[in-house]
């Protein structure tokens, strides 16, 4: 599948940029992400550029990269405009959307369940119980969280980095 080839590339962002027509054809839900502003101080990029930055920080792991590609896919439809824009519930909605997208792309149900769970939990704190329950899944989840966290506004990274360090110590 061409999507897997793109996401497995060592030149990931170049491959994404060179294959945007294809990506928008198979995942049209990406289009609203492009140039959609976060309007939130913890984000310095639009939703699509944030997603690409997170992807660029990832290890070459298809599970991580597929989860990162879809982790914020619902933000353009899930935002609440207040003084600062918020995206309450976006992880769950992105997870639900990813199930539909991945099914449409022909992934099997067990794999869809795994990726959608990574997406749903990408903003949820990892606990000692999570580590004990499923160590390998938690490592993958932590990698998704690491890439997402480091793609946030550098001015506000300290809290996210402290959280990541705390989890690494638990592992």
- Write down all domains in the chain, each with its CATH number in brackets: 2-170 (1.10.3210)
Residues 6 or more apart whose CB falls under 8 angstroms from that of 40 comprise: 84, 85, 86
CB 72 within 8 A of CB 90: yes
- pLDDT band at 52, cuts 50/70/90? very high
pLDDT at 83: 65
pLDDT at 141: 98
Q: Is 42's pLDDT higher than 70?
A: yes
pLDDT at 81: 74
Considering the chain, what percentage of its residues have pLDDT values greater than 70? Answer: 98
CB 147 within 8 A of CB 58: yes
User: pTM higher than 0.85, yes or no?
Assistant: yes
Chain segment 61-116, per-residue pLDDT in tens: 999 999 999 999 999 988 777 767 777 789 999 999 999 999 999 999 999 999 99
pLDDT at 92: 96
Residues 6 or more apart whose CB falls under 8 angstroms from that of 18 comprise: none
């Amino acid at each position: 599948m061409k999507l897997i080839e793109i996401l497995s590339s060592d030149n990931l962002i170049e491959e994404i940029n060179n294959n945007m027509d294809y990506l928008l054809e198979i995942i049209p839900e990406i289009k609203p992400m492009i140039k959609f502003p976060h309007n939130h101080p913890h984000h310095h990029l639009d939703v699509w550029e944030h997603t690409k930055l997170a992807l660029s920080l990832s290890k070459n792991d298809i599970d991580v990269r597929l989860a990162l590609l879809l982790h914020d896919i619902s933000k353009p439809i899930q935002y609440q405009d207040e003084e600062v824009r918020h995206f309450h519930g976006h992880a769950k909605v992105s997870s639900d959307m990813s199930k539909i997208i991945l099914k449409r792309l022909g992934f099997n149900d067990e794999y869809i369940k795994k990726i959608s769970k990574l997406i749903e939990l990408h903003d949820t704190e990892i606990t000692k119980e999570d580590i004990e329950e499923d160590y390998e899944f938690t490592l993958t989840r932590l990698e998704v969280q690491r890439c997402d966290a480091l793609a946030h506004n550098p001015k506000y990274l300290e809290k996210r980095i402290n959280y990541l360090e705390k989890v690494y110590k638990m592992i």
